[in-house]
Structure 1
């Protein structure tokens, strides 16, 4: 009986000792867990702090980027304004110099080609001749006749004069002003017998004579065209008109 009691006591003491050891172990384990949790919290806080710093840095970066974009838009607008102003200045300069050139050209002599020859004429002289030619081209024969008549009077030494006399006679022929035709073409022949218009001028005289009923004079003129200008187209035409008069 005493033996059993002693054995129970020993077992109970061993159990209490085991519980004591287990309690100490659990106590140590709990401390480790708390420290791990605390460390984890600190780590989380550190990460959150880093994230907050990173987020702030990103926001600052975006703010800076937006500011730079705004500056770029502003600078681009300024560049466009300067470019447009420069283009307007260029156009104004071109217009100014173009206007000046036009004004200068209006007074400076101009070089033109008349019947294959380069000559110098006054701008007003050229304008007067061109206007009369335009009237003739538009079949405004009266205006053309007056224009060439006025030109011949105002520019007696003009290199355009032979052509002006010829086209004056041409306009007069269209108006059946045959005396004017004959007088203008004979004047051309007297002043410029070797001019490229001379053969056609003589042919025009013969045509005016024939149209006015002076057939004898017309025949003589057409024969003279053939004799004086045998290699010209006017001579070929004169021959055909002679044949027509003969019929």
Structure 2
């Protein structure tokens, strides 16, 4: 037994020593290395995918910015053209009213078609080529001189001319017409507050004037431009009710239809 015990110890030591493998051959360590490599690969893939996703999102944002910039430019273009369209509408309306006046009031203040610059648009305050008519001492001559300035699109000068006429000839038979055309100089320059007050002056001081239907119509237009839509609707309905067979009533109906469409 004394001899067997040392032998068994040697065998056990040999067995234990044989179970200890070098790191490059240890299956556990090899598996850990493999897993570590796989994790590293996954991390790189995820990192690359994240970068690609970020790059894609950035490109989408850039495209949205480009679209927004284009939309902004389009809105700016529309805003610039809005005033042009409104002035064109004003001229169309005014010429229709003038045509009616020429048929009903020969020799009064009907304006011939406006003189337009090459772009087809009157420029507020611009001086059109040609000498301005000089007023003389009579109310008729002074009135016609101011009206000629308005016809030429020389709105500041026309405004001054009508103001001077009102101051010099307060008792003239043309006073209601002069107040109306003074209001028009404000309207075409988009001073809608002053234009509204001046059109209302025609109605208050000269309710039986031939300009009353047009003044009431333009008062409604001014209220519309000032976004006083309830007041504009009421005023335009008054035009239709009071002057049902007039051109002013037809134009008031068209604007009422627009207001109704915009409120839907």
Structure whose residues are more often strand by fraction: 1
* Bigger relative contact order, structure 1 or 2 (CA pairs below 8 A, ≥6 apart): 2
Q: What's the TM-score once normalised by structure 2's chain length? A: 0.47
In terms of Rg, which structure is larger? 1
Q: What's the TM-score once normalised by structure 1's chain length? A: 0.50
